[in-house]
Structure formats: C-alpha cells, structure tokens
Amino acid sequence: MGDVVTKSPRVGIGHDTHRLEPGGPLRLGGVDIDHDRHLVGHSDADVLLHAVTDALLGAAALDDIGAMFPDTDAANANRDSADMLHRAWRRVAAAGYQIENLDCVVLAQRPKLASHRQRIATRIAEILDIAADRVGLKAKTGEGVGPIGREEAITAQCVALVTQVSRR
C-alpha cells in the first residue's frame, strides 16, 4: 500500500487601507500605475500586496504583516511590499503550505483598474511563483461615497486558500 496523502485546506483573510495624497504614480499589486495620487504609508504602502500578505499569513495562523514588518522599525521605511510578500510567503511555505488560489478586491474610485488587472495578477503570481490563473482580482468603486468615493483612500481585501500536504 502506497503513501496516504492528505490535504488540509486553510483559508486566510487580509484587509488593508491606505490614504491617498497628491502626486503619482500609484503602486498597486507591485505595479506602478500612472495616476495623479499615490498611497501613503511607512513602507511603499501597496495596499493590495499588504492584504495578500495578511491573507497568506492568516491562513497559516502566523503573525500578521505588522508583526513581521513593524512600522516602528526604520528598516521598513519605504520598504518594497513585493519583498515583504515574498518573505511572508517563504515563511508560510516553510510551514508546509501551498497556494491554491487568491481572490482579491480593490476598492478605489479612481483609477479604473480594468486595463491593469492582468498585469497586476501576473505580478502577484511572479512574486509568489504561482500561475497567474490562481490570482483573481476585482475592482470596485466607492460610488462617490465615503473615503473611497472621495478619493481619500484605497482599500484592498484578499481571501487566500492554501493547503498543507502531508504523507503517511
């Protein structure tokens, strides 16, 4: 009788919000987008990569992005969020997990993201070394309501499905 392989699915949820200020470009999902505003934060403030990072860490029940990369550490000032995601993913993978898929939502009044969706999904896939078809990405506006609609902030959410494979 051969090895028995079991897959244990785990789900994680990530959420992040950053404020917008005048001046571009806008960095979203590891991609610079021509825009008249940019996100503000201690790192490069890539709200989408931060949500993906927290979703993956949460799926493995590990610390969140703030614990891994505290904003009180000067080494994290202007840090590339792609590097942060890659390092977090290495920690999750070392715990025995593999990514099944990510489903992401960006809430932004502007810019319209339809023409950037594939490039963003491809970049996230590159950072994580997975196929781009494992990264779902949707964009929603704020319908002119609240901080999103007034273009004061952008929010991102991500749900990650990972599996832990074990052989006995």
Which amino acid belongs to residue 50? H
Helix intervals (H) in the chain: 47-59, 65-68, 81-94, 117-128, 146-149
pLDDT of residue 167: 63
Instruction: Give pLDDT, residue 166.
Output: 76
Helices vs strands, H then E, count in the chain: 5, 7
Q: What is the pTM of this model?
A: 0.94
Per-residue DSSP letter, 30: T
The SS3 call for residue 150 is coil
45: number of CA atoms within 13 Å, CB side?
18
Whether 168 shows a pLDDT value over 70: the answer reads no
The dihedral sign for the CA sequence 60, 30, 65, 109 = negative
Rounded to whole angstroms, how far apart are CA atoms 5 and 167? 5
pLDDT computed for residue 17 by the predictor: 98
Higher confidence at residue 6 or residue 57? 57
For residue 127, what pLDDT is reported?
A: 98
Per-residue model confidence as pLDDT tens digits over 92-109 = 999 999 999 999 999 999
* pLDDT of 5 over the 80 cut: no
d(CA 88, CA 62): 9
All domains in the chain, ordered by first residue: 5-167 (3.30.1330.50)
pLDDT in tens, 117-145: 999 999 999 999 999 999 999 999 999 99
What digits encode the pLDDT tens for the residues 35-92?
999 999 999 999 999 999 999 999 999 999 999 998 898 888 889 999 999 999 999 9
**pLDDT tens track for 139-164:** 999 999 999 999 999 999 999 999 99
CA separation for the pair 127, 109 (Å, rounded): 26
- Is it the case that residue 1 has pLDDT exceeding 80? no
Where is 123: in which H helix or E strand?
Answer: helix 117-128
Provide the pLDDT for residue 4: 62
pLDDT at 11: 98
Residue 152, CB-side half-sphere exposure with 13 Å CA sphere: 6
